[in-house]
Amino acid sequence: MLRRRAIVGGLAAGAVAASPVSALAKLLAVGRRPSETFTLANGLQVVVLPSSRAPTVTQVVVYKVGSADEAPGQTGIAHFLEHMMFKGNAGGEPIDFSRTIARNGGRDNAFTGFDTTGYHQTIASDRLELIMRMEADRMANLRIVDKEVIPERQVILEERRMRIENVPAALLDEAVREQLFGRHKPYAMPTSGYPDDVKKTGVNELTAFYRKHYAPNNAVLIVAGDARPEAVRKLAEKYYGPIASRRVGPRRRPTEGPGDLPQRVTRADARVVEPGWSRDYLAPSYRVGETRHAYALQVLARLFGGSETSRLWRSMVVDSKLALSTSAGYSASSLGLSSFGFNVHPAPQRTVAEIERALGDEMKKLLDGGVTAGEVERTQNQLLAAAVYSQDSLASGPRVYGTVLTTGGSVTDVDEWPQRIAAVTPADVLAAARHVWRDDGSVTSLLTPAAGTR
């Protein structure tokens, strides 16, 4: 199963089946955290998520750009630019972004995904103005210089060694993506970039990429925590308001897979001790493909393989003992196609053929017999409970809104997520499984030990 970042709603706890219907109603009645949204004249969308738990505030700016927006031969540039955002000379003055945040008692970080690049800071709420001023400054005034790019390139290559080249499963993941989405296509090119591309990325390329994608009308500002919406609006007008909007081109994503599936990928690696088996299917997202299946697929993933009481776990770990663990995963929040994946960690001495037969039987059982109203309802309760718990975390609101709003979704999509999950029927789940579980949309992969030096 492919590695993923933020998943809307998440897969966490469970909920209430003693009287499932009333329990569902109770969870829905809890409601979502109060949010307020508005858009500045220059197109910057702003979301405020107030909470009085701690005297701290979190600012997140997400840009509608990620590694899936890169051109072949320029892989890794979205991530490279994310690093340079901490180093550039803004407004002609040297900045030291993170040091200034830390000097004020805060912490900051950033991330790059396939569809999203995000920057976040958490700090005492009386320093909100400082971080809004600084973030707005680097949205408009970043200057990238050679002196900073040269050592940072080495840092980025070290990051790739740590996350990818040192990790056999991550190398296999890259190979699977190339098969599933098609070589040199979005979601196949690694976010960390191919080393050859990273080595030839310099000031000119980075600056051009920044100018092309970093603009208020291509970003979302999210402020969560101890802040009043009126105060946020005033500060947003003051610091982000003057930044001119810019014409931003459309974001292109393929609507179909490469057309030569199914494929198999094996990575035999001397460093591997425990084998791993996975299968990934191309799947619709909220935006691309048969999008009507997007909510039912979330229920399907949880019901079929999302916990230790799921069908797959009970069948392969508890009953037949073919596997030490199993899982299923799906994320609908993608601007392009998504994937639906299974992981199986085979028990010792078990063969790939046995694993594939058992999984196939379990899938067929579902495709032939469908799912019961009871198991769908239990699964919905679990998904909705996870949404309640996410209200208990200050970090989770910005994460969810940031993901949805940079992948073509709206605030309404976030707020109505529980109702839409609750509306999924057993027939919807079956239709979604029939649509996605097709051999001609899959890549099966195996990670296996090989002779040689570990």
Subset of 342-361 contacting another protein (CB under 8 A)? 345, 347-348
Task: Measure the CA–CA gap between 12 and 410, rounded to whole angstroms.
Answer: 23
| Contact string 3-32 vs another protein (x = CB under 8 A) | ---------xxxxxxx-------x---x--
Q: How far is the CB of 121 from another protein (least distance, A)?
A: 10
Q: How many CB atoms lie within 10 A of CB 225?
A: 24
Task: Measure the CA–CA gap between 382 and 395, rounded to whole angstroms.
Answer: 20
Of 446, 394, 41, the closest CA to residue 224 belongs to 394
Q: How far is the CB of 89 from another protein (least distance, A)?
A: 15
Task: CB nearer to another protein: give 55 or 73.
Answer: 55
Asked if 125 is part of the footprint of another protein (rule: CB under 8 A), the reply reads: yes
Q: Which residue's entry shows tokens 């508005």? A: 38
Which run of H or of E encompasses 355? Answer: helix 352-369
Q: How far is the CB of 72 from another protein (least distance, A)?
A: 19
Asked if 109 is part of the footprint of another protein (rule: CB under 8 A), the reply reads: yes
Residues 173-232 that bind another protein (CB under 8 A): 191-192
Residues 235-294 that bind another protein (CB under 8 A): 270-274
Asked if 35 is part of the footprint of another protein (rule: CB under 8 A), the reply reads: no
CA-based torsion, 409, 412, 415, 416: positive or negative? negative
Which run of H or of E encompasses 232? Answer: helix 229-239
Residues 374-403 that bind another protein (CB under 8 A): 378, 381-382, 385, 388-389, 391-395
DSSP secondary structure letter of residue 165: I
Task: CB nearer to another protein: give 70 or 293.
Answer: 70
Q: Which span sits near another protein by CB under 8 A: 146-154, 212-220, 277-285, 431-439?
A: 146-154
Q: Which span sits near another protein by CB under 8 A: 241-249, 320-328, 423-431, 432-440?
A: 320-328
Helix, strand, coil in percent for the chain, rounding step 5: 45, 20, 35
Task: Measure the CA–CA gap between 26 and 23, rounded to whole angstroms.
Answer: 5
Q: How far is the CB of 150 from another protein (least distance, A)?
A: 8
Alpha helices for 141-227 (secondary structure H): 146-160, 168-181, 195-199, 203-213
Of 390, 297, 440, the closest CA to residue 9 belongs to 390
Q: How far is the CB of 130 from another protein (least distance, A)?
A: 12
Residues 67-106 that bind another protein (CB under 8 A): 79, 82-83, 86, 96, 98-99, 102-106
Active centre residues (catalytic) = 82
Task: Measure the CA–CA gap between 248 and 217, rounded to whole angstroms.
Answer: 8
| Contact string 38-57 vs another protein (x = CB under 8 A) | -------------xxxxxx-
